[in-house]
Amino acid sequence: MKNKLCRITILAVLLLGGFANAQVKKWTLEECVDYAIKNNISIKLSALDAQTTLVAKSDAWGALLPTANIQGSHSWNIGLNQNITTGLLENQTTQFTSIGLNMGIDIYNGLQNQNRLIRARLAIVAAQYKQTKMEEDTALNVANAYLQILFNKENLRVQEQQLAYDTKQMERTEQLVEGGAVPRGDLLDIKATIAADNQKKIAAENALLISKLSLAQLMQLDDFLNFDTADSDYPEDKSSVMMEKPATIYDKAKGIRTDLKAAQADVDVAERDVKIARGAYQPRLTGFYSFTTRAAYSDKIIGFQPNTSSPTTVIGYVEGTNQNVLQPNSEPILGKRDPIIDQFNDNKGHSFGVQLSIPILNGFSARNNVERSKIELERSKITLQQKELDLERNVYTAYTDAQGAQKAYDAAVSAANARDESLNYAKERYEVGLINVFDLNQAQTLAVNAQSEVLRTKYDLIFKVKILEFYFGIPIYQKQ
């Protein structure tokens, strides 16, 4: 029994150890971005749009090829119908089989098919640019959420350090109170400060948890409850892009930004649509070929014999004598039908030629299609201009934000250093009894707030610099 319990205990420890190891997965920024790009729903939908353009290209290729269709039919005629052998109306059942092949090809149709193929290729490029743009936006959002987690982690660490410091301060004050060195009110003040520290620590823990859940959901991670990020330290070193002028960054961005490339591709597609629509003004020349053959299942005529029951038929009279003009009557001699294969071979026929169609008036459809395509072309050009204006504004805004974030961070660091010196001075004065614990706590609170402000401005600066670098062509993360 004891051995059994021992085995169960060992198994439980191994299972718990494996479960614990499964929880220590730390996601790097690169892993988060890659996972989000692979699983983001919007990116998946954009990929489907790209696949649709590939199908459109296949359609365009198909329009350049000849069309070919085979048709066949087999019919039964039951009741009173004409006997194709005798030419008489009879109550009978006849069967017929026919087979045919029709082919056609566009020889010239205003180059519409060729322009559709070019358009399909341009549409593929536009769809690829749009998918890349969506991936870039997703990467930016993931980076922002990732940096928010790092900030919340460091902020929690600051709050924990503050709580630990105040706890030690309380223990020391308790000793001083027992020795009569400080009044009991100081101890009560410190206990109130510790309670406030616990509240700040809980708020920091909640903020960290929410930021983790936000990033996990942005990544569409299934097991988001156990999600955590690697404790990476991003330095606040100045980026070389910060030394560039906004105009230089904008010029660089115009040549590499995916959204501008996608807008230009839309313009190219719209221009090709105008050419396709104008092709309807021109004549259309098509070639065609048709092959048919048939077979009947009725008996065939193999000869004629005199009609004994009615040897002659009066077909007229001789003028003047009124003498009857007679015609001998004959009746067909029916024989067995030819084999079906032979009939198909004997009854085959071919037809081929060309057909010319010149548009004259078609309810203004061609003209209206051209006008609509011109409007869409103009719309796409305006959209491209707007994208360029938006890019210029975004670059200058990003540059200004990054410069402002750098100044805010520098000011926060200076303030934090000053608060640290002030806190050390307050501790020295408290040690000699020149200030009370309330003044010491005030100095401590100001120092902690200054540290939190340094963290906030640090990660705000990192993200805004990354945005500026992104416009300059530097990726969100550097692959190892």
CA 386, 391, 394, 395 dihedral sign is: negative
Q: Which pLDDT does position 19 carry in this prediction?
A: 40
Question: For residue 245, is pLDDT > 60?
Answer: yes
Tell me which of 4 and 231 has the higher pLDDT.
231
Q: Are 231 and 26 in contact (CB under 8 A)?
A: yes
Which residues, at least 6 apart from 454, have a Cβ–Cβ distance to it below 8 Å?
409, 412, 413, 416
Report the pLDDT averaged over residues 101-117. Answer: 93
Q: Are 241 and 465 in contact (CB under 8 A)?
A: yes
Q: Which pLDDT does position 124 carry in this prediction?
A: 95
Residue given tokens 């309670």 in the structure block: 195
Please give the mean pLDDT across all residues of the chain. Answer: 84
Instruction: Give the model confidence (pLDDT) of 422-468 as tens digits.
Output: 988 988 887 777 877 778 778 888 888 898 888 889 888 888 888 89
CA distance 274 to 449: 63
Question: For residue 476, is pLDDT > 50?
Answer: yes
Q: Which pLDDT does position 86 carry in this prediction?
A: 58
First to last CA, the chain: 54
Which residues, at least 6 apart from 328, have a Cβ–Cβ distance to it below 8 Å?
306, 311, 312, 313
Query: What residues form DSSP beta bridges with 229?
Result: 27
Per-residue exposure over 253-272, b if at least 16 CB sit within 10 Å of its own CB, e if not? beeebbbbbbbbbbbbbbbb
CA distance 259 to 384: 9
**In percent, how much of the chain has pLDDT > 70?**
87
CA angle 7, 10, 12 (to 5 degrees): 110
**In percent, how much of the chain has pLDDT > 90?**
41
Comparing 143-152, 215-224, 270-279, 378-387, which segment has the lowest mean pLDDT? 215-224
Q: Where are the alpha helices (DSSP H) in 219-302?
A: 246-256, 258-278
CA distance 334 to 310: 19
Each domain of the chain, given as residue ranges in start order, spans 29-65+105-284+291-298+337-471
* Span 29-65+105-284+291-298+337-471 CATH architecture: Up-down Bundle (1.20)
Out of 21-25, 242-246, 295-299, the most confident range is 242-246
Residue given tokens 């510790």 in the structure block: 194
pLDDT band at 7 (very low <50, low <70, confident <90, very high): very low
Question: For residue 44, is pLDDT > 80?
Answer: yes
